[in-house]
A = this chain, B = another copy of it.
Amino acid sequence: MKYTKPLLRLIEEFQKFPGVGPKSAERMAFHLIKQDVHYIEGFSKVVIEAKEQIRKCSECFNLSSNDPCEICSNSLRDKKTICVVSEAKDLSVVERTNEYKGLYHVIGGLISPIDGIGPDDLVIKELIYRVSRSDPNEIIFALDTSTEGEATALYLHRILSPLCKKITRLGFGLPAGTELEYADELTISRALENRKEIV
């Protein structure tokens, strides 16, 4: 046994986090136990409070302390546009652009037959109900451009197109700061398709 048990348990806990390997888990555990008791108790409290206070908005399924969430209850947002995202963190990515003023719908994942995730495992029924009730002018898919993201967009398009006339998705093309040399062919061919006249 290289570490004392409580330390080993702490390292094991950190290893359960996504993207944290044994080395990082060790560093994190050592960092934590170096702090004073006051700090540790504060950390522990933040974790418990986050769990207790964060719930899902019953309208858009975003994570929030309030229900409906800050976005759904904001009277300045355009209630006639719904942006569909996979996870709350994707929502925050779109929010950071400060470009989008509509509402969101967090479906909680992507369709992935390999992982056994079908439409029923996602918050899609609620989306259909919401669309049929609120009659939006536009639904925007802001989903990963992975196979799962594409499959989900296709599926959603099929079931939502009878309910909403304008369904769009984020444009394909070159990401900002790309060196053309390193862009893959699919990205280039989509960027070509999506080319814009310089005015």
A4 to B65, CA, bound (A): 6
B30 touches A89 (CB 8 A): yes
A13 touches B54 (CB 8 A): no
Copies of this chain: 2
Q: A47-B43, A63-B7 are in contact. Are A24 and B19 (CB under 8 A)?
A: yes
* B33 and A54 contacting across the interface, CB-CB below 8 Å: yes
Given A10-B50, A50-B10: A3 in contact with B87 (beta carbons within 8 A): no
Interchain CA distance A26-B18 in the complex, whole Å: 10
- The digit string for A1-13, where 1 denotes a CB below 8 A from any CB of B, is 1111111011001
Q: Which residues of B contact A20 (CB under 8 A)?
A: 24, 28
Majority-rule SS of A interface residues = helix
The answer, yes or no, to whether A40 is at the interface (CB within 8 Å) is yes
Q: Which residues of B contact A64 (CB under 8 A)?
A: 4
Point out the residues of chain B lying under 8 angstroms from A54, CB to CB: 4, 6-7, 33
Task: Look across to chain B and name the residue whose beta carbon is closest to the beta carbon of A49.
Answer: B6
**Interface residues in A, total, Cβ within 8 A:** 51
Q: Chain A 40-51, CB within 8 Å of chain B: the 1/0 string?
A: 110110111111
Q: Given A2-B96, A40-B48, A17–B28 Cβ distance below 8 Å?
A: yes
